[in-house]
């Protein structure tokens, strides 16, 4: 199960990385997905219009970004699972009670980060379709920042646990 998750994770990450690179390859300097996630209403409109008018092979970049987002849904599943299992493995090595409990807390934090990412992707697709309609824009950035904050917390807990284990053997 873990092996499958890791294979999926690597494969999907490589695919997403390749797509990002390919968008830039065809259109150097074109705004990426992160710029879109953190953009305000006017910037959103500008980015979508740029994507609509830029080509990605025989398609527009907009089509490519949609494909990117759908692949990202699968990637979310894979990375959430991996974050949980890595936290679990670290937890089973952690002798300090409080840190052990914090590593256990990483399970729901990782799942929550994944859920925020799902919401982010749904809003991403929504904004791409409706940015020019009245009420057709919903800010994604709160979800993006919350997701990254959760992931940062998880990484910080791992780091503290790892450093502690190197100091106190």
Partner 1 sequence: MNQRFKSSLIDKLLDNSIEIDELKWLREDIDAADLSCIIQRIYDLNESYILKISAVNGMLEKLNVIKNKRRNNRFFNKIRKGFRQVSKSDRKIILAEGDSWFNYPIILTDLVDVIGMDKDLAVYSIASGGDWLLNMLTARVYVEELSLLHPDYFLISGGGNDLVGSSRIAAMLDPTGQSNEYARNEWAQYMIGKVHAAGIQLNEDDFNEGLKYISKDFFALLMFFHLQYYFLISEILNAGNKGNKTPKFENIKIITQGYDYPVPSYESGIGVNPLHWYVPLIRKFQQNGNWLKTPMQLRGINDAETQRKIVYAMIFLFNEMMIDIGHIFTDDKKMPGRVFHIDARESVGENGWTDELHPKAEHFMKIGRVFKQCIKNPTSATYQQVFVVKEFNK
Residues that bind partner 1 (CB under 8 A): 91-95, 97, 100-102, 104-105, 107-108, 169
Nearer to partner 1, 125 or 160 (CB): 160
Least distance between partner 1 and beta carbon 160 (Å): 15
Least distance between partner 1 and beta carbon 48 (Å): 39
Q: What are phi and psi of 56, to 5 degrees?
A: -130, 90
Least distance between partner 1 and beta carbon 112 (Å): 10
Nearer to partner 1, 36 or 147 (CB): 147
Nearer to partner 1, 11 or 112 (CB): 112
Distance, in Å, from the CA atom of 77 to the CA atom of 112, rounded to the nearest integer, reads 11
Distance, in Å, from the CA atom of 83 to the CA atom of 115, rounded to the nearest integer, reads 13
Least distance between partner 1 and beta carbon 5 (Å): 14
Distance, in Å, from the CA atom of 165 to the CA atom of 19, rounded to the nearest integer, reads 39
Give 123-141 as a DSSP string: HHHHHHHHTTSTT-----H
Nearer to partner 1, 134 or 169 (CB): 169
47 in Cβ contact with 54 (< 8 Å): no
Look up residue 96 and give its DSSP letter.
Answer: S
Least distance between partner 1 and beta carbon 77 (Å): 19
The token pair at 14 is 């490589």
Nearer to partner 1, 100 or 146 (CB): 100
């Amino acid at each position: 199960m873990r092996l499958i998750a890791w294979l999926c994770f690597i494969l999907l990450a490589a695919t997403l990385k390749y797509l990002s690179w390919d968008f830039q390859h065809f259109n150097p300097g074109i705004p990426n997905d992160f710029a879109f996630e953190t953009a305000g209403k006017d910037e959103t409109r500008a980015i979508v219009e740029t994507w609509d008018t830029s080509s990605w092979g025989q398609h527009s970049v907009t089509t490519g970004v949609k494909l990117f987002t759908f692949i990202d849904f699968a990637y979310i599943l894979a990375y959430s699972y991996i974050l949980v299992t890595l936290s679990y493995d670290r937890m089973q090595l952690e002798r300090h009670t409080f840190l052990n409990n914090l590593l256990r807390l990483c399970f729901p934090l990782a799942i929550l980060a994944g859920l925020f990412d799902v919401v982010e992707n749904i809003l991403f697709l929504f904004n791409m379709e409706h940015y020019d309609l009245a009420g057709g824009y919903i800010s994604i950035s709160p979800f993006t920042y919350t997701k990254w904050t959760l992931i940062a917390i998880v990484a910080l807990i791992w780091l503290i646990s790892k450093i502690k284990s190197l100091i106190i053997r």
